[in-house]
Amino acid sequence: MKKSRAYLLCPFANDSSLYRGWSEQLSVPAERLENYRSDWECPDDAAILISHMHFRWEDCNILRRTLQAGDVPVLVLADGILEYRNIFENPQVAAGSIYQPVFGHKIACLGRAQVRFLEALGNPGICESVGLPRFDRYLAEPFEVRSEAVKSKQFRVLIATATNPFFDEQQKARTLQALIDLKDWINSHPEFLGRQIQPLYRLTAGLDEELQVKNEESEELFDLLNSADALITTPSTIALEGCLKHRPVAALDYHASPPFLPLAWTISDTSQIGRVIAELLDPPAPKMLFQRAVLHDQLECHSPASLRMVELVEAMIEIGRRPHRPLSFPPRILADVDHGFQRVDPSFELRNLFPDRDCFVETELQQLQAELARAILRLEQLPNELLESRENSRYLARKLNEVRDRLKSRNARVWDLRQEVLLLEKKLKQYQDTTKSTHDADV
């Protein structure tokens, strides 16, 4: 039977945005598997098996057996950023469940940073930097900038948490305390640096009830970010969405865990809240440049991810159809148009990064050229001046040594004269004493 069908292994595949959009563009029909048991076997028409379910035993058992059978390509999808606590401190998943190793011939990663770490976890040669197709919407629709008139009066900050913001009671307590500290600070600063602070909350796991705040659940995150000036979030893929919207993004993280997604701003205790919010109000250009660089390291997003996902799946299907050959995939299927280099951000401008330096602010070409000509001429003169200065220094050093030698000689002569004077004074005293004694005897 011809291998002519892609199977999507996920109990909620019909509702998941992970599979939506790109799976309809494949050259073969995609069948969504929602009701299956752990002993499910790939049918003879299976051209590829695709899943992001890499955490439950039932799904991993299917992936492992399909991988070992060696006749159907297996593609695993990364569904979000990596998070240290989820990988190493989550009692709800078995140790090693988070891609240690990956049960697949390939894993579609969010970006280069994720590729590097998953390779470090023992997955060399199977990681592909694809992106996240559900984020293609952010590339298709230009980001909205709030009007200056509105921004001058209000500062709307979206406070969000990950789908799973904690994995045990201790983590819950730290997460809740971070949110309480942030809420208390905002309540005590209704106006800050001339702006009215207006928080919007999008919290999960019942944290909105514990915090007693209104939760913005009815509005899509995409639209919420449009209406916000900044985003503060616990470690989450949401941070990438804020970056895609060109909003300054701060991490709210009291856990002191290694950050897989480093952000330009981090709130790790109460004392940092005021300083961070002050910068979110008026983000420094260097930190926004850092944020964009991190975004493109974490997420392949220079172009739509759906195109790369389809390309990866089609290539794996083609390799799987080769007759009488064991499945073997190259270390990289997707070509890197940047050859591993980071692109220069379009917003990179020295005058924005160093606004207090006149040389970067000046834009008149002729004036800069004239100034450059003077600087070049001056630099050409400096070597001769430096040589003359060194000669003068050597001459002065010689003269100084001569003066020191003369002073040393004169000091020695002075010392000798002092000794002679002391000797003469001693002899004079002896003479005076003798004369006095003779005079007293005559009397």
HEC profile for 5-59?
Answer: EEEEECCCCCCCCCCCCCHHHCCCCEEEECCCCCCCCCCCCEEEEEECCCCCHHH
pLDDT tens digits, 259-306 = 999 999 999 999 999 999 999 999 999 999 999 999 999 999 999 999
Residue identified by tokens 């559900």 is 134
Reported as type and span, the H/E element at residue 157 is strand 154-160
The residue type at 257:
S
Q: 55 or 130: which carries more pLDDT confidence? A: 130
Give the pTM.
Answer: 0.80
Can you give the pLDDT at residue 432? 82
pLDDT at 151: 57
Instruction: Render 359-380 in DSSP notation, one character per residue.
Output: HHH---HHHHHHHHHHHHHHHH
Tell me the helices (H) and strands (E) count for the chain, helix number first.
Answer: 15, 12
Q: Of residues 339 and 106, which shows the higher confidence score?
A: 106
Tokens of 47: 């051209």
78-87, 220-229, 345-354, 410-419: the lowest-pLDDT one: 345-354
In this prediction, residue 145 has a pLDDT band, given cuts at 50, 70 and 90, of: low
User: What proportion of the chain, given as a percentage, has pLDDT over 70?
Assistant: 95
User: Which amino acid would we find at residue 198?
Assistant: Q
Torsion of CA 173, 91, 74, 51, to 10 degrees: -50
Q: Please give the pLDDT value at position 367.
A: 79
- Given this model, what pLDDT does residue 168 score? 95
State mean pLDDT over 313-339. 90
What contacts 145, CB < 8 A, 6 or more positions away?
A: 246
Which of 64-73, 226-235, 298-307, 351-360 has the weakest average pLDDT?
351-360
13-22, 136-145, 184-193, 299-308: least confidently modelled range: 136-145
- pLDDT over 80 at 236, yes or no: yes
Determine contact, residues 33/320, Cβ cutoff 8 Å: no
Give the pLDDT confidence score for residue 217 in this predicted structure.
81
pLDDT recorded at residue 152: 65
Q: What's the pLDDT band for 129 if we cut at 50, 70, 90?
A: very high
Residue 366: pLDDT band by 50, 70, 90 thresholds?
confident
Is residue 57 within 8 Å of residue 33, measured between CB atoms? no
> Is the sign of the CA dihedral 233, 238, 239, 244 positive or negative?
negative
pLDDT for res 350: 73
Average pLDDT value for residue range 345-352: 76
Segment 91-99 shows an average pLDDT of: 90
Q: Mean per-residue pLDDT for 213-226?
A: 90
Structure tokens at 166: 């904690």
